[in-house]
Chains A and B, each alone.
Chain A
């Protein structure tokens, strides 16, 4: 009886905490369906007739190219990351090279270097190559940004392939390609998907490099929002519509993959 009561009480507390935390996001979505005068009212408007005007406005103001740039930079960099990280993780886990810990720690230490310390040389180089405001520049940079994370994650997933099964395969005469296709891939593919997803999330949300290296041609989704930084009041509902649109892909992806999220975020150090 007491156990059940305490379960109800703590459950209620947890629900309240969850609602408080998600509330700004709910407010963002609600506001995105308001007219501007309802959005910027005090006290806040709770009852209103929903409109999709703000979404229409955002698309009229050409958010689509920004979304496409983000999609291209995120998807392509994720593909490159996976293509580079998976073999590397293999060489650092199942058939480790000499000094594999050094290599592993080298990768992670690059992730710990503040981007701001590399910005100027990158800017000068990219400018001299005539690659400023070019999506491919962002593809390369996002690939290097996510590579360490992916190597660590993929390694932690590859370690789950049972050694015995691999050896049994080898005894039965399975070549490297056969064991990759028949043994390794089926076991690691959920991990591969999680790795790709997290790389996609980080690339999609990246702002610092994008704001300094892109402009109108290659601007990514976060850059579309820069215009709202000083907008005072008049465009709150439109801002909320834009913020909802740009956040949606990652929200959906993250909700679907939340079980794998923690492992990815801690780079495989925590399961």
Chain B
């Protein structure tokens, strides 16, 4: 399945100007060049591709581990039951909502913070350190911190500071999870966008100012187009990580109330380790992979564009 992605971007990768043409010499020379690559390649294939092939195989079996000895080939039945299952459709919708919500909010906040940090002011390095800190806190620790120390209705910090006695997690479960994710991922977006801002040519901006462009015009006509690839990269990498969100759902809401925050990784986890429906869980896993490939193909295209820019320099 990964071949599909690799192929689609084959044309994108240009030969780096500084590299000599790929090995032309004899077979021996080619193997000498390949040798350093092989251990990593073989390892990656065995550990990542083989399990996926097994998942593909398991997804065609009717297999519940609670009923041992009853394991039979059922073709695409698991896919049918997965796709018609209302829980799974809810999980799919939740995954899209949680991922999109977290990516969009962290992107907007990250952009604002990157713009602030792109200016000179006293203590800029310290502020940057403060801002990246949430990203470094262990995700499960962060999730528990928000659940108990911030959201708790009786003694949580949010109610403590602003008054009231809201039970944030049961009243606004999705928002509670998204807010935690946004807090953790805004620094990531900020760092990527800051790198983009700092790669802007100072002279061109200065020239625009001399020509009388307003700050807003400079932002919309120059900065945003320049940042486009960085925004895309941040959004796509963020989506790839956030689609897999498990820690915060597992610890803050356990997918609830009801199925309000059950996303695909959590639902598959429940199907595998709580219901022991191995066949259905595998089919759901395959579907998640297919969905991820769609996002990943776009991500790879963006990366390969940046990649070409790098080679072109």
Within the complex, which residue of B3, B117, B144 is in contact with A239, where a contact is CB–CB below 8 Å? B144
For the residues of A in contact with B, the DSSP-based class is: helix
User: Is A112 within 8 A of B240, CB to CB?
Assistant: yes
Within the complex, which residue of A95, A201, A208 is in contact with B246, where a contact is CB–CB below 8 Å? A208
Given the known inter-chain contacts A100-B22, A239-B144, A266-B237, please indicate yes or no for A91 contacting B134, CB distance below 8 A.
no
Q: Is residue A191 contacting chain B, with contact meaning CB distance below 8 A?
A: no
CA distance A55 to B299 in the complex (A): 43
Measured between beta carbons, the chain B residues less than 8 angstroms from A266 are: 192, 195, 233, 237
Interface size range of chain B in the complex: 35 or more
Measured between beta carbons, the chain A residues less than 8 angstroms from B148 are: 228, 231, 233, 236, 239
Given the known inter-chain contacts A120-B58, A144-B44, A208-B246, please indicate yes or no for A110 contacting B137, CB distance below 8 A.
no
Measured between beta carbons, the chain B residues less than 8 angstroms from A120 are: 54-55, 58, 272, 278, 281-282, 285
Q: Is residue A79 contacting chain B, with contact meaning CB distance below 8 A?
A: no
Q: Is residue A229 contacting chain B, with contact meaning CB distance below 8 A?
A: yes
Q: How far is the CB of B294 from chain A (nearest CB, A)?
A: 11
Q: Which of B232-285 contact A (CB under 8 A)?
A: 233, 237, 240, 243-244, 246-247, 250-251, 254, 264-265, 268-269, 272-273, 278, 281-282, 285
User: Is B37 within 8 A of A103, CB to CB?
Assistant: yes
Measured between beta carbons, the chain B residues less than 8 angstroms from A25 are: 133-134, 137
Q: Which of B9-17, B72-80, B204-212 contacts A (4 or more CB under 8 A)?
A: B9-17
Given the known inter-chain contacts A228-B148, A233-B155, please indicate yes or no for A17 contacting B40, CB distance below 8 A.
no
Within the complex, which residue of A24, A84, A96, A242 is in contact with B19, where a contact is CB–CB below 8 Å? A96
User: Is A258 within 8 A of B40, CB to CB?
Assistant: no
User: Is A18 within 8 A of B37, CB to CB?
Assistant: no
Q: Which of B28-36, B170-178, B216-224 contacts A (4 or more CB under 8 A)?
A: B28-36
CA distance A207 to B265 in the complex (A): 13
User: Is B303 within 8 A of A108, CB to CB?
Assistant: yes
Measured between beta carbons, the chain A residues less than 8 angstroms from B136 are: 201, 247, 250-251, 253-255
Q: B248 — nearest CB in chain A belongs to which residue?
A: A207
Q: Which of A143-169 contact B (CB under 8 A)?
A: 143-144, 147-148, 151, 156, 159, 163
CB 8 Å contact bits of A197-208 with B (1 = contact, 0 = none):
000010011011
Q: Which of A219-271 contact B (CB under 8 A)?
A: 221-222, 225-226, 228-229, 231, 233, 236, 239-240, 242-243, 246-247, 250-251, 253-255, 258, 261-263, 265-267, 269-271
User: Is B129 within 8 A of A255, CB to CB?
Assistant: yes
User: Is A107 within 8 A of B5, CB to CB?
Assistant: no
Given the known inter-chain contacts A84-B40, A247-B138, please indicate yes or no for A113 contacting B48, CB distance below 8 A.
yes
Q: How many residues of A contact B (CB 8 A)?
A: 110
Q: Is residue A119 contacting chain B, with contact meaning CB distance below 8 A?
A: yes
Given the known inter-chain contacts A17-B131, A118-B55, please indicate yes or no for A27 contacting B155, CB distance below 8 A.
no
Q: Is residue B94 contacting chain A, with contact meaning CB distance below 8 A?
A: no
Q: Is residue A92 contacting chain B, with contact meaning CB distance below 8 A?
A: yes
Within the complex, which residue of B37, B124, B144, B159 is in contact with A229, where a contact is CB–CB below 8 Å? B144
User: Is A225 within 8 A of B269, CB to CB?
Assistant: no
Q: B300 — nearest CB in chain A belongs to which residue?
A: A105
Q: A112-B292, A144-B47, A266-B192 known; 13 other A-B pairs, CB under 8 Å?
A: A27-B145, A27-B157, A88-B37, A91-B37, A116-B244, A117-B286, A117-B288, A207-B140, A208-B247, A228-B144, A243-B141, A254-B133, A270-B233
30 pairs, A vs B, C-beta closer than 8 Å: A15-B123, A17-B131, A18-B128, A21-B131, A85-B40, A87-B37, A88-B39, A100-B22, A101-B9, A102-B6, A102-B7, A112-B296, A114-B264, A115-B265, A116-B288, A117-B285, A119-B272, A121-B50, A121-B54, A125-B51, A207-B247, A208-B247, A221-B138, A222-B140, A228-B144, A251-B133, A254-B135, A265-B192, A269-B306, A270-B306
- B residues contacting A by CB (< 8 A) are 2-3, 5-7, 9-10, 12-13, 15-16, 18-20, 22-23, 30, 33-37, 39-41, 43-44, 47-52, 54-55, 58, 112-113, 116-117, 119-124, 126-142, 144-150, 152, 154-155, 157, 159-161, 183, 186-188, 191-192, 194-196, 199, 230, 233, 237, 240, 243-244, 246-247, 250-251, 254, 264-265, 268-269, 272-273, 278, 281-282, 285-286, 288-289, 292-293, 295-296, 299-300, 303-304, 306-307, 310
- A residues contacting B by CB (< 8 A) are 7-8, 10-11, 13-15, 17-19, 21-22, 24-25, 27-28, 31, 39-44, 84-85, 87-88, 90-125, 140-141, 143-144, 147-148, 151, 156, 159, 163, 201, 204-205, 207-208, 211-212, 221-222, 225-226, 228-229, 231, 233, 236, 239-240, 242-243, 246-247, 250-251, 253-255, 258, 261-263, 265-267, 269-271
